[in-house]
Structures are given as structure tokens and as C-alpha cells.
Structure 1
Amino acid sequence: MKKRFFGAAMALLMLAALLPAQVVGAEDTETGGVAISEQSGESTPSSRGTISPPDATVIAALVYEDPQEVDVTDGMYSFDGFAEGHYSISAKKEGYVSYEQPDFYFTEGSELPSIELVKVGKINGGSGDVSVTDLACLFEYLSTGHYSGAITDWHYIQAVADVNGDGEQNILDYQQLYGMIKAAAAEKPEEEGQTTTTPFSGRLVKAGTSEAVDVPSDAQLAVTKRPSKQETTASGTALRGYPDRFQITGFAPMYACDESVADYVLLNGSAVRAYLSTSTAFANGTTAIASTLIKGVDADDATCGAYMEDVLLINGKCYAVGGTEAAMWNGKGILYTPVEAKPLPHKLANDDGTPCTGAKLAYDTSGNATAISCAACGKIFELSRQLPAGYFGQIVQVTVNGTTYFVLVSPGTSSGTTTGTTTSPKTG
């Protein structure tokens, strides 16, 4: 074996500047690699090092000698019997980003690098499959240039982030990682929650009736509390909620839901234990989490300024209850129609903008109109000469003595007011 150590060392140092040190861990001040973690040496012989995953392949080559595969057993690779000298060490496994250490000087007593390979796309670092945390980490890295994961070597970060293998890090890698996570989720069975099974107790009746439903005398009732979970979407992540599932012997699965869409009611004595729906929409859960449920409109309000039917307020928009798509509210599934519900109009202004007959105006001491009351229900709304930039809801223009005013009739507010209450425009 030739011993041209000086020239070889210079060549290897130049090569080290080009090749990524592709492992996760702490900085190595001895070799110049920035991603290897030192082994304690107390429980592991100095001629061995750890390798993760344990079935990865490790290759070592003495300078000017042919590379040879290193023995790997139970997550340990060994240099036992190796001659002293400068070695290049590499580790690889399909689906993982390879590790390269171009110049490691081995002598008796040397501690071998502890190598941890990272899966392609596992940019947040660590072991295991890619997940939404990696998607979030990659998004942060691509959009801001900041990296907050566990990998310490910059070259290795870039290699892991190159999900599609084209040598660049961009939105195409994000799309590829999103597809990987979605495909992995599709291969796994639906995540189940905790199930409690007991002999069936109580009565099952058809919703809206007192008609009891026959249940086998030896029936069992299995109730599964299904947890919510983060779901990856093209625009980021969303929380998917799952209503509790009720499985009664002899019946198809049913899901806890709102009374308005229930097919059955499970009674415990005379008390309602659960409203149940047979709709498969609940089986798949939903990312549309309802924040407010408007119900029980009084008869007086129903004639003016109230919704035509019960609605959900989801992401700032109103939806009619009782449709075909599922939403969650307080842990219960609710079906809603994805069409914005329209409030019944107050009688504030005619088509030409002039006040309706019976609508009353209030003025300040200077004679300027400041408020108007609905001709039908008497609710009072303030007038504004300038429409706020952040307005929402129903806008009515009223012309008084040649001056145009705006009335903001916010459905979520006006439908809950009573006679004599003033509703101010949103000043966002």
C-alpha cells in the first residue's frame, strides 16, 4: 500500500468541502464533520460504532484501497481487525439520505462515529416515518429560510429536503412530501379510539317519534370515543374531528349527532343518552369545525331579523342545518348545507333608499339622523355616513333629506337583539 499521506490528505480535505456530512447529532471538532455524535466508549469497544437504522449498509475504504463492506450486527458496525490509517466511511439504505465521512483516521483506541441516517423528507429530524411535523418544518424552511428541526448539518438538511431528488429545494419537494404523507395515511387503517363494550341497556326509538325499535335481548353496545387528529392538506394542516361511534348488535354503526339530524334516539330511562345518525358522512369525520350553533329562535324574532332556519357559523359564514355535509360542534356531529343562509330582512328602507313607512328616525341636536328603527319589529340600528372598511353582514342604505347613510345589519348580532337595543356598525 502506497503511503502518500500528505497529498491524499489534501485531496480528501478538498473533497470534504464538497460532500455533505449527512447524519444527525452534535458537532465533531476532531474530524471537521458537523453531524456526528461521539460514542461514550464506556460500554462500547472503541473499534465499534452505532448505526441507525440497524440494517443500513456501512462501507469503509482505506486510502488507495478497494472499499469493503463493514460488519453490522444489532445496530453496531465494527472496525475490528482493520489496519491503522485514513478511511472514508459511508452508510446507506434505500429511502434514507446517505452518510459520508471522507476522511476518518482510525487507530487502535479511536472512537468510531455514531451514525443516524434520516429518511428522505424527514426534515424535522429523528426516526420514524414522515409526518405533518415534517411538512410544517419544510414549509418554514422553504418560505423563510429558517430551520428549526433536529438535524445539525446544513448540507444534510438540504439533502433531506430534496424530497424529489432533483438537486433543488422548492415547492415541488413540498408537494412530493405531501403526497408521501397522504399515501402513507391511506395505507393505514382508520385510527380507532377507546372502545367500551357493555350489555345493551336502555331503549332505542326512532327520532321524532315514540316508536321503540326492537333490539336483540342479548345485544351488546360498543361505544368508541374517536379522537381528533391532524390531517395534512394541500394548504397546510387541519384538525379532523370524529363523532363517537355506537355499535349495537344487529345494527349498522351509528354516530353521535345533533338532535336536528338524528335517525335514532338512545334513551336511558326517560333521559336522552345520545342522538344517533346512520349517515356515513360522520364515519369519515370532518375538518369543518363549527364554532357557533344558532338555535331556538323565538317566534317574535322569526318574523323579522332572524334566520329562516337554524344555521351554523363556520369560519365566519352561516350555513343551514340539515344538509349533506358533516360538521362538529361541541364534540357532536351535525349535518349542514354548504349554502349561506339568508336572514329575513328588516324593513328599514325602500328600493329607492328612503325609509320604510313606519320606520322611525332619531336625530342629534344638530339635526343629523343618527339611528333608525325597523318598521316591523322596532329594533334600533345606528346610521353611519361612512361604511367601515371591515364590514360584514347585510348592508342597508337609507337616504334621509338627501343624505345617504349606511345601516349594518349583522345577522349574528341583530337576530339576537330585542326592541330598543342599538346595534352599531362593525368598525374593523
Structure 2
Amino acid sequence: MMKAPRGTADLLPKDTKRWQYVENKIKDICRRYNYHEIRTPVFEHTEVFQRGVGDTTDIVQKEMYTFEDRGGRSITLRPEGTASVSRAFVQYKLYGEANQPVKLYYLAQMFRYERPQKGRMRQLNQFGVEVLGSDDPSVDAEVIDLAMTVYKELGLKSIKLVINSLGDQESRVEHRNALVKHFTPVRSELCEDCQSRLEQNPLRVLDCKKDHNHPAMKTAPSILDYLNEESKEYFEQVKKYLTKIGIEYEVDPTLVRGLDYYNHTTFEIMSDADGFGAITTLAGGGRYNGLIEELGGPETPAIGFGMGMERLMMALEAEDISIPIDERLDCFVVAVGDEAKEEAARVVRELRSMGIQTDQDYLNRKMKGQLKAADRYQAKFVLILGDEELQEQKITVKSMDTGEQREIPLNTLSETMQRLLVGGQTDA
């Protein structure tokens, strides 16, 4: 028996309705915040991620699906959204748009070769937001607010926001030198990856999962101690805006995120729900001033986040939040007789054109079997059409909730069903 590749999952119809509800909620929130959808290719030239995400990151070094196409070009399946959006921003000169900053969102599939586990797949779904063209601290607060609003409006309560500042380039250089000095004496005690990171990007040592219990981690220099005055002021402004709009947060000096492009504000949103699992992060992001220039564009400040959809669905399950989806079918047409079956095809098409969810039997079942099918679909109304009704140009409408039924003229069916479905009545 053929199975889906490891690290991928099929979403069957019973699941997709729940996903569609969540996605529609996200789209509505983005509409209210005046964010617009962008759709980028599933694959990019590998250089986009090498330059955009950073050569020293685990994503680039270990997790990318990279291959050579028939033209000899190095192509990579999209592992994250920010680099692709930034590339599109530069390519189409969106920095020249009249409305600034440019506020974008995406719902897209990403691909990462990592060890599959619950909520962490090799093909994953991600919701992301990018704001390009503003270095106002209030934008940082807005982006965080949007992410928190998604969780809150879906009913999640056990969530926690953690923030930090990585400072500007000057602050990061000072902190980098302090980290090298701190970890060099114990370099041989660190994992192989961290030994390499200490030379290439020491900040990433703080993000190591293997060495997080090493004593040197607890005494590592805090980035907050190396922020220059400008960076301190920026971070203070972000915190003031968060407080002003009523968002609670914790400051965690060890929060560095896993991508090279971050500076100034970084944040993660975590689940505190019982039984959620060891990996608690639901979403993460931050400011990435400098990335647009790296990809060939003009100097453009930017901020964004990525939210794992699988992890969002897990969090909803962990908090036992039911998603309000209507599983019921509006109408099921039961046809008895050859001529009635032909007319049923027209009736079904007419109802569908009026926006009414309608189905019929396609297995040539007898009337009893068709009624059982209507029951399995939890149809609100069954419309019964036989050759006798057809001769009289009538159709029987039966409410499955009350059992009441009556005959109505075929030429008034659409208006009648619209009235019944809106008003929830059986009286025609």
C-alpha cells in the first residue's frame, strides 16, 4: 500500500472544514488590519534563502530541500516566507508604491527536512505577516497585536508573549564580541554545531537545544546589557505601545530566534496549555532591517512573523476548543423514476445557482436508500420528486428537523427554499 512520504500529512474533508474556518478567521483579521495577501512561488533560486535567511542558520545548513533543475540551476523549496516576500518586494519595486508601508500576509506551504514530530512536519503550513517600509515602534506592536488577536479570537487562553531586543548593528557587534570571549574557554565542551557557530554567528549558540543546560548558558552575557541608547529607546517604545494596547508580555534576554536577519525586536508566542508538548512555540518573528538591501533593494526597515498552522490546530485541540462548522447539507433531492431523475438534475442545478448547498443520489438507489443517504448528510430538507409529482409540476418538501412536509409548485422552489433556509420554517 502506498503511503504519504514521512513528514507529510493528508488533510481529509473532515479536517479541511476546520482549517477553512481558521483560515477565514485569519483572512478577516488581516482585512481589518489592512494587510493584503501575497502569493509567492513554492520554489526559489537557492541564493534567495542563502542570502535572505543566512548561511549560518540550521535552515540553510541542514533543512532545505535543494536540487538542480534540468537547466543546471540550484533550486530550493520554500523553507520560510520572509525571504520570498522580500525578493518579490524588490523585484516588483513595491517600495515605490504610493501607500507605505507595504503590509502583506500569506498562507502558504513550507518545506523543511527535519525530524518529524507532532506539530513539526517536513511539509508544513504557515501563516505569515510582513510589514515593509517603516521603522516606527508602533508597527512592531501592531504586528504582535495581530498575531495575538488570531489566537484570542479563536478562543485560546493559555498563551504567553515573550519579547527581546537584539539591538542595532553596533549593539550586536559589541554583544558578539562578549559572547566569543565568554564561550571560548569552554568551546570544547559545546556541541559540534555550537563550536562552528562560535566562529560564524555566536548569537546562535544561545539558541542551541543540545547545550541549553550547559552552565555557561546561564551566565552568558545578555544582549540587553549591550544595547546602545538608540536601541534601548526603541525597545522601550515597543514595550510602551504593547502596554498601551493592553498586551501582556515577558522580556527574555535569551530569545534570539533562529534566523540571521533579525535585529531590534524579536518575539515568540507560546502555549502554556497542559499536555501541549515539549515544543511550546506557536509563532515567532521580529524586525529585519537590512534584509531588503541584502536582496538588492533600497534601505528598507521591515518586521514580520511566521505562525505554524499545524501548531495552531494542536493548541486549539489542547484547550478543547470546538470550531463552529456546519456539517449539515441544505437540501438533498430524492428522485423516483427516469423522468423525475432527469428533472432532478435541473432542480439541483437551479438550487445551487441560488447559493443553496444541494446534492442528490448518484448510485441509482431506491427511495429508501436515498432517504438514508439524506440522513447521513444531515440534510435540513429533503425534496422528493416522482413521476406523479412531475406531471403536476410539484415537489414535496420535507423538513428533517420537524418531519413536516408539503407539496409546492416547482416554479416556486428556489424562492421557497431560500425563505425556509433563512427563516428556519417549514411553512411555505
| Bucket of the pairwise TM-score, normalised by the shorter protein | under 0.3
The structure in which a higher percent of residues are strand is 1
The structure in which a higher percent of residues are helix is 2
Q: Give the TM-score normalised by the residue count of structure 2.
A: 0.19
Q: Give the TM-score normalised by the residue count of structure 1.
A: 0.19
Identify which of structures 1 and 2 has the higher relative contact order when contacts are C-alpha pairs closer than 8 Å and 6+ apart: 2
Bigger-Rg structure (1/2): 1
